[in-house]
Amino acid sequence: MKRRDLLKATGGAAVAGMISGAPALLGCRQEAAPSGPAPAAPKNKRQRVLDLLGEGPAPGYVPAGFFIHFPPEEHVGQAAIDKHVEFFRATDMDFVKIQYEAGFPPHPEIEKPEDWAKLPVPGKEFYEAQVGVVEGLVKELKAEALVVCTLYSPFMLACESMGPERVVAHIEADPEAVRKGLETVTESVLTFVRECARVGVDGFYASTQGGEAGRFTRPELFHECIKPSDLVIQNEINDTTLFNILHVCDYHLPYDDLAPFREYPGDVVNCSLHVGEKTLTPRDASELFGRAFMGGLERKGIIVDGTPEQIRGEVERVLAQAADRHILGADCTLPGDIDWKRIRTAITAAHEFGVPA
């Protein structure tokens, strides 16, 4: 049985038990269970989000999650763990989303496409501090909520390392040379993924770029050079972890077509609703990808500058246009200086949506 199948069968209880040191699977109990039907346990945030993946009746509850980057002094160590816990508690969001702040080593020596063959592979020691944050939050919060870690694609990490202009220019000049170099980045990212899985992460918020409108002079370069490494990572996390969110990131450029991403795995998809000259509804996006959608609010919109009443009204408008299985969120990371009370207002409105007064 694949690890993901085991996790789905137990709702992640097997790994949660390993983390806590308590037996979690039927047959591992130290005491006999009492006879008669057990009372239904109240659902926690973890169960409520997992309910979105079922095929039965709609769960009747709208989970929500928003994210920000914290200051540099809260990127690693106990300070990072504490800040993520504080944000989770203050906003009442329904899962833990860990910000990835490790980056990727700079490589100014990669000056031309053929230099990509010399790209070194960062090992697990490079990710040690980031994995430490993941492990700390798994221990702190996994019992009550799903813990997912941000995961940037090999292309995105290469752009962070060498600058997007240089990476794009090299792909335009010699896509095959860069594709082989991206395989090296992919090998390193797989190391990080496996280390996170080892310490008990539930999944990833897996971000991709490269397919935006105007990124390349020939759009097929995305399919030739970037998508193969994307799918290696996406398939790995889909096979080995419980819950993953596909994020089609428009932070730098917009998209005029989301079709290239429909075959990407991921239990939930998160993206902008602006595609070319069209504006999708959340239900449109869910139907396009054939899975639950997360989003609906603009990262620089009403949640940033609206009144509490306007925020609640916008949440209700968005959810009225959403499918039955939906997570309220934004199209990307919110501004770091946003008042957390604004986020709490939006999340509370989602939780109360459809609940009789």
Nearest of 67, 21, 34 to residue 294 by alpha carbon? 67
- Whether 177 is covered by a domain: the verdict is yes
CA dihedral 221, 226, 231, 236 (to 10 degrees): 170
The CATH number assigned to the domain holding 261 equals 3.20.20.210
- Whether 332 is covered by a domain: the verdict is no
Give dist(CA 281, CA 341) in Å, integer: 26
Give dist(CA 51, CA 292) in Å, integer: 11
State the residue range of the domain holding 287.
Answer: 3-25+43-49+70-295
Residue 307, token pair as written in the block = 């009144």
CA dihedral 186, 189, 194, 198 (to 10 degrees): 180
How many structural domains is the chain composed of?
Answer: 1
DSSP alpha helix (H) spans, the chain: 3-10, 13-20, 45-50, 77-91, 128-141, 154-162, 164-173, 175-198, 220-221, 227-240, 282-289, 302-305, 308-320, 340-352
Query: Cβ of 307: how many Cβ atoms within 10 Å?
Result: 11
Give 10-residue mean pLDDT values along the chain (357 residues): 57 45 32 42 84 79 96 97 98 98 96 96 96 98 98 98 97 97 97 98 98 95 97 97 97 95 97 96 97 96 97 97 96 96 98 76
- Taking a C-beta distance cutoff of 8 angstroms, is the pair 323, 288 a contact? no
What pLDDT, on a 0 to 100 scale, did the predictor assign at position 60? 82
What pLDDT, on a 0 to 100 scale, did the predictor assign at position 356? 55
Give dist(CA 286, CA 279) in Å, integer: 13
Nearest of 346, 349, 344, 325 to residue 60 by alpha carbon? 325
Residue 53, token pair as written in the block = 């993946």
- Whether 289 is covered by a domain: the verdict is yes
- Whether 95 is covered by a domain: the verdict is yes
pTM: 0.90
- Whether 304 is covered by a domain: the verdict is no
What pLDDT, on a 0 to 100 scale, did the predictor assign at position 8? 61
What pLDDT, on a 0 to 100 scale, did the predictor assign at position 4? 61
- Whether 161 is covered by a domain: the verdict is yes
- Whether 209 is covered by a domain: the verdict is yes
Give dist(CA 73, CA 79) in Å, integer: 7
Q: How far is CA 71 from CA 88, 126, 318, 338, in A?
A: 16, 21, 31, 13
